[in-house]
Amino acid sequence: MGYLNNSVVTVDAILTKKGRESLAKNDGSFQITQFALADDEIDYTQYNPNHPSGSSYYGEAIDNMPLLEAFPDESQIMKYKLVTLPRGTAKLPVLDVGYTAITLKQGAQLAITPQTLNYLDAAQSFETSGYAATIADIRLLSNFNGVGINTDAATSANTNSTTTIGTNVSKTVIGTQINLRATTINTLFGSNSSITTTLTIIGLDSGARITVPITINKTSTT
C-alpha cells in the first residue's frame, strides 16, 4: 500500500479479492456494470472558513491530504461511499441489524432483518432494493441466502450458492432478510475451539453499511 501523487489526476483501478474470485470462475459472472465514489481519506474537520488567505483556501488542507493507492481488500477500502440524498437531509442513513457481534454454535441458524434508520420515510425501515450481505469466509456457513427481493441481481446472487470447503472465499447474497446457518464441519476448526469471520451488510438504496464479526463455536468432536 502507498500514497498517490495528488498533484496530478490519477486513475488507479484494480480488482478486489471479490472481483478476482469472479474473474477466476470464468463463467461469465464477472461483469462490471456500475461504479461508486468514496471519500475514505477525507477529514472534513480540516475545512477552515477562518483561513487568513480567504475563501479560496478554506479547503486547502483537504485538497492536500494524501490519497491511498487502490488495494484489493474490499472490506478496508471505499467504506464510505458517496450517496445522493434529498436536499435538507440532516442525518445520514445508518444500518441496524440488532447485533454488534454474532456468536453461533455449530449448526445453529440465524435470520437477520436489517433496518435503515434516518432514511426517507421514517415509517419504512427497509430499503426497496434490499441489502447486499457479504460473508468474508463462506466455509464457516453451511447455508447463506437472502430472501424478499426478486430482482435479477438478487436471484443470481442467491441461487449461485456453492459452498467452497477448502478455500477461503467470500460470498454475497441480496435480500431484505439474510439467513445463515453455522457449519458443522469440524476440520475447519483445526485445534481451535472457535473460528471467526465478518459479515458486511450494505443498503442498496442508501449506501449505508455495517460490518459485524461472526464467531462459530465448536460443539462436537466427531
Mean pLDDT in order along the chain per 10 residues (222 residues): 71 80 83 82 90 92 83 74 79 91 96 90 78 92 91 70 63 93 92 94 89 92 58
Cα(199)–Cα(212) distance, integer angstroms: 5
Task: Give the pLDDT score at 163.
Answer: 55
Task: Give the pLDDT score at 124.
Answer: 65
User: Residue 173 forms beta bridges with which residues?
Assistant: 133
Task: Give the pLDDT score at 103.
Answer: 97
Q: Which residues contact 95 (CB under 8 A, 6 or more apart)?
A: 114, 115, 116, 117, 131, 201, 202, 203, 208, 209, 210
Q: What are the extents of the domains in the chain?
A: 11-82, 94-217
Task: Give the pLDDT score at 54.
Answer: 92
CATH 1.10.3720.10 fits 94-217, yes or no: no
Task: Give the pLDDT score at 13.
Answer: 80
Task: Give the pLDDT score at 126.
Answer: 85
Task: Give the pLDDT score at 47.
Answer: 93
Task: Give the pLDDT score at 81.
Answer: 79
Cα(83)–Cα(73) distance, integer angstroms: 21
Task: Give the pLDDT score at 197.
Answer: 94
CA distances from 90 to 45, 87, 103, 108, 118 (A): 17, 9, 35, 40, 9
Residue 118 Ramachandran class (φ > 0 left, ψ -120 to 50 alpha, else beta) = left
